[in-house]
Amino acid sequence: MIKKEISNFSIKQISESGQCFRQNPAGENRYSVIAGGRYVEIEQRGKETFFSCTEEEYREFWHTYFDLDRDYGKYMEIAEGEDDYLSRAARFGGGIRILNQDLWEMIVSFIISQQNNIKRIKRNVEELCLRFGEKKCSAEGVLYHTFPDVHALAGVSKEELRDCNLGYRSRYIYETVRSIESGEVDLEAIKRMEYAGAKKELLKLCGVGEKVADCICLFALHHLDAFPVDTHIRQVLDNYYPKGFPMKKYEGFAGIVQQYIFYYDLMG
């Protein structure tokens, strides 16, 4: 267990923000997180944050995963300007950070997210992991399953995917696996692309539309100009920004602002 003091960081808010689906309550002010084939439990007490891992693992993985080198205070400062709605949203969700998540996991997770709610998405993702992921044991003796990679899902039929309660999304995932296995879409190449190019490539995948592509760009590739628009965001834009959202004002971090808005609309 290691202790850190981190500004503008709330594991609770991050877990509820709709960008990740394998973070869950594990006690009072404590959450379990499965990412990158690893497992950690995080507890917050006031300004102190405790990670159930070694200092080496924290530096090698979790520090980057939670984007802890970035000063989110400066983004909040700009967001808390003359815009009353956005000021409230930024203050309400000031502990949110944009995670550096696995590209393949985010592709599948956000295909599953279509016409779905967070609770059900989590169940669907967990079922995929239980059936097709690798079983592991954490240093604390907690058993968990990794997210199945492309090759693990390549041998899975549409019927088996449908058994995970994925409905029509099972076909999307099945076809997406084949697009990547065949080389039609190259994930390693996408990781090296700028936002526009990466989004264009992602749109080639079955079941990936504008919103899903933007979610993947933001939450996996860390393109902070991606601004996913779902029903929550659309309602806010219609109600508070009928003349259009001032994207230029938030150039370079519009995706962070989107998360403040989404979380405030969802939980506020």
Burial class (CB in 10 A: 0-12, 13-18, 19+), 231: exposed
Is 47 a known active-site residue?
no
Give CA–CA dist 224/134, Å, rounded: 31
Give CA–CA dist 29/49, Å, rounded: 10
Any idea what DSSP says for residue 246?
-
Q: Which two tokens stand for residue 237?
A: 């834009």
Q: Which two tokens stand for residue 69?
A: 């080198």
Give CA–CA dist 174/179, Å, rounded: 9
Catalytic residue among 135, 211, 243, 248: 211
Give CA–CA dist 153/82, Å, rounded: 49
Q: Among 3, 2, 6, which residue's Cα sits nearest to residue 69?
A: 6
3-class DSSP string for 62-91: HHHHCCCCCCHHHHHHHHCCCCHHHHHHHH
Q: Which sequence positions are flagged as catalytic?
A: 211
